[in-house]
Structures are given as structure tokens and as C-alpha cells.
Chain A
């Protein structure tokens, strides 16, 4: 490894995301903090010494060209690399001031939900069962709680009116955009605190995309959201902070407005103005 100095979030116009690199357990504003996070797949380093802090009830977008480690970063937060052969994660991740390996991985994933790139409803389950899946599979047996959860979360994701008459039909009978909103409903049904989104709209049409973007903006009241996106306009529309990844490194992490209008790094400027990527 050559020069490992990376630009952390020493950002002048954002008063409170300065990261000293030390972990402060009394900090209650921070939802997520990574310290020197690196991920290796076999011998290949995918991301290198990422230091990021995400404030509670904020939307943080991660942008960067393909293969820059955006998804790798995201998936290390809910320990999704556990199942990837050859993946090794180094460094520390704190979710609400708790180190993610301090607790059971199952509990972590209940707190940190995830929405995937391609809608992935459970194909053998109905719409209803998909929303209730998180509760059901975790051993809860309470019909009225299921009913309540399903209605509440489908309403919240704007799907209730579209599907309330066919809750028992298979989830895969829905359109792609509806499926993705169903997946979001399924994710928030287990009441996470942080939601990770891995390019949730890249497989969707513009109308579905704008519906989901609206959701994300509304979600800020209740959740902290970290979203990977290929779409810079999307990052600009919905996020408070934006991180620019390049070749496995965090190049810049600033307030979104600043990153797009007045980036500190030349590389960032070139990327956001479309000179490469």
C-alpha cells in the first residue's frame, strides 16, 4: 500500500462532522461511524481506510464510478460480507455508538435494514406475507400485529391503495416499482434505525424512482439513510451529505450542496462535472 492518507471529513463548512478518528461514546448525534474501514476480497483490497460519520436523521449519499467500492462499503455496515467467500473486513464500525460486532449479527441487522438494487420480494410469498416476513421469520405469532404492520407500512410506502384488494396475491405479480416499494415496506416493518439502500432505483422507471425518492425524503424524520447511487442528480435531490468514492478510497465527504457546487478536491470536481466516470 502506498500512501494511505485519505481525506477524511475535515470539512470547514459543516460544523459538526469533523472526525477526530477517536470514538466518543457520549456522542448521541451520530448514527454511524466507520474508522479505518477496509475490506479485502481474497488479496484484493476493495475499500481502503474509510472514515465516515453519518448524523442521525440524515441522508448520506455515496457516489462514484462502477467498482469504486460503494456497495462494498454499504454491505460492510450490516455485516453482509460474512457470507461472501474470501471477504475480510478490517477497522471499526459503530452504529449508535455500539461496535457492530459487540452484539449478535441478527440484532444488528434488525437495527440496520437494507434495500437492494433489484427488487427482491420473496417469490413464494404473498404481498401480505412479504411485509410481515421480518416479524414472522423472527418467530412472532400475532395476527393482529401482522395486520397492523402490513397496513401501516404499505400505507407509508404508498402501496396500500394499490394493493389492498389483493394482499394475498403473489408479490412477484407486482410491477418492478411496486415490488421495490414492497421491499422498502418489508424493511421498515422490522423497525430499523438505519436503512442502507444499494442503488434502489437503478432498475426502475422515472415515475417509480421519484416515488421512492419522495419516500426517502420523508423517511428522514424516523430513520438515518445511507444510499448508494449512480445518479448524481438523485444524490443532489435527496441527500444531506455526499461521499465520493474513487478506486476504493473516500475522496471527499461534504455537505451535498458543497460537494456539487464547490468541491474541495479536483477529482470530485471532474467527476461531478462529468469529465470521467
Chain B
């Protein structure tokens, strides 16, 4: 069988095709640059403006009145950690377990409904979730609280974690589950010890990204955690959070506070950056998945 190139006559418009090819490649490169430019710009601008105000005081001191030197955002940093902690306590178990349910036990309409609702939930504006937490917790407790803020963040994390868990579990080859079942291992142990373990690096990635996203959320905290200028670690009291503090400082008329807001923004970005680095580190050694 001689399938030589001679049989295919080069089309006459080869030059036009080459031109179109180059134009499309250039367009793709431009699109790529447009994608990374804002990120680079944000990163460098925030670094430039924030790093000068960033010092140890920022991490260990409380906010000080305007004009006094050495104020920090210790309360907001701790507040954010508490809020994310509460959010993770709610978001991670619910997200992972519903992901397991959809992927491993779904044969029926309920799984479809959960999946559908999760997709919608991930598209709901975060401020609406804040309002939901307000109506459910703040009104009933008669005050703003870390609990309400953490709850809102938790709800926000659920769809991401559910989706990632489901998709990572679906990537685990069925043959691995069958191997386990064929050894006489029960279904739940197979899911927990084989499927979930095999998918774990991907699921951890998803959880960290969900946390990173929740850490930067401002809107759902506005009328749940509310913010606090004082040291507060009780979860039934209003609590400070980095994004809220940045917002409050940025709209203030004081130069000092503006600088602090920049530093806060820088810390937030750094946080997201570090979480992403951890993600890369966790997933670097892919000991899992499909061969």
C-alpha cells in the first residue's frame, strides 16, 4: 500500500492558511498575556504599596487610633483564622461527604438533585449567602457573631469541595474499587480506604483552593461577622476579619490607615499565594490516579 504524499495535492491557498495560522497563534498569545497581566499588576502593585507598611507590628499589634504609630491588624488576622476555621469545620465535611455520595452511591434522582443544587449554589452571589446566614443565625442570636460569619463562609465552600471531591473520585479507576471489593473488603471501607485515599491529593487541592477563596470573601461577612476593632476570640461575638478591616481602612480618610489597608491586602494575597504553593507541593508527588 503506497500512500504517498503525491496523491494529496497541496491546496493552492496554502499561503492564506499559513497566514491564518500565524494570526490565530498571535491572538492566543495575546489572550494569554491578558490573562496574566492583571494578576501580575495586582501582585506587584499590592506588594509595592503594602510591603513598606508591613512589619512585625502589623501581625502582633492591635489597631491604634489615627496618628499613633505601630498599629497592626492582629485581631483581624486572628479573626480571619477563626472564621476560616469555623467555615472549614462546616464546609469540608459536608462538601467531601456529599461528593462521596454523588460519586459512589448515586444511582438515583437524589444524587442528580444534589448535583444540580450544588451547581446552582456555586453560582449564587456571596452576598446572598451572607443574607442567608444573617436571617438564619444573626436574627436568631440577636447579634453579629463569628459563628454566623463562619457559617456563611462554610456554605460558600461547600459547592467547590463537593464538585472537586466528586470529580476526583470519578477519576479513580473502577478497576481499583473492584480489586478491593474482590478481596472481600466491604463497600464503605473500599470507598474510604481505597477510593478516597487514591483521590486524596486532588481533594486536598480543592479544599485548599476553597479555603483560599473563602479567606478573601468580604461580602458574606458584612452582616454576619460584622467586624470588630477590639481583640475578640469568642465565637458568639462580632469578630474582625482581614477583608473587612481592609475595606474599613481603605474607605477611611486617613493616610495611615490606607497604608495599613495595603499591608492587609498584601497579606491576603500572600496567603492565597502560599496556599497555592502548598497545593502545588501536595500534588507534586502524584502517587495516585490513572496510570
Contact = CB atoms under 8 A, between A and B. Distances in A.
B219 to A, nearest CB: 39
Q: Which of A78, A122, A124, A187 has the most CB of B within 10 A?
A: A124
A190 interface: yes
A274 B239 CA distance: 79
Given A106-B185, A110-B184, A116 B291 contact: no
Contacts of A123: 176, 198, 287-289, 291
B179 A109 contact: no
B104 to A, nearest CB: 10
Contact of B178 (A120, A121, A133): A120
Contact of A107 (B176, B177, B184): B184
Interface in B172-205: 173, 175-186, 189-190, 193-194, 197-198, 200
A111 B197 CA distance: 26
Contact of B193 (A108, A137, A172): A137
A173 to B, nearest CB: 10
B18 interface: no
A183 B179 contact: yes
Nearest to A121: B179
A250 interface: no
B107 interface: yes
Nearest to A117: B175
Contact of A137 (B177, B189, B287, B291): B189
Contact of B198 (A111, A118, A124, A134): A124
Contacts of B183: 109-110, 113, 133-134, 137-138, 186-187, 190
Contact of B176 (A111, A114, A120, A137): A120
Contacts of B200: 124
Contacts of A122: 176, 179-180, 194, 198
Contacts of A120: 173, 175-176, 178-179
Given A85-B107, A122-B198, A124-B288, A133 B180 contact: yes
A78 B193 CA distance: 21
B247 to A, nearest CB: 43
A253 to B, nearest CB: 25
A170 B176 contact: no
A41 to B, nearest CB: 14
A190 B184 contact: yes
A126 B175 CA distance: 18
Interface residues of B, number: 25
Contact of A170 (B177, B182, B287): B287
A233 B197 CA distance: 40
Contacts of A118: 175
A114 B177 CA distance: 12
A121 B197 CA distance: 14
A207 interface: no
A19 B180 CA distance: 34
Interface in B12-29: none
Interface string A118-142: 1011111000000001100110000
A95 B175 CA distance: 24
A110 B287 CA distance: 28
A187 to B, nearest CB: 7
Interface in B37-62: none
A137 B107 CA distance: 26
Interface string A179-223: 000010011001000000000000000000000000000000000
A172 B184 contact: no
Nearest to A196: B182
A1 interface: no
Contacts of B178: 80, 83, 114, 116, 120
B80 to A, nearest CB: 33
A85 B104 CA distance: 12
A113 to B, nearest CB: 6
Interface string A212-242: 0000000000000000000000000000000
B186 A106 contact: yes
Across the A-B interface, give the 8 residue pairs with the lowest CB-CB distance, nearest first.
A110-B184, A114-B182, A134-B183, A109-B184, A120-B175, A137-B185, A120-B179, A106-B184
Given A85-B107, A116-B178, 5 more contacts: A80-B182, A113-B182, A116-B182, A124-B287, A133-B180
14 contacts: A110-B183, A114-B178, A116-B175, A116-B178, A120-B173, A121-B179, A122-B179, A122-B194, A124-B198, A133-B180, A134-B183, A138-B183, A172-B291, A187-B182
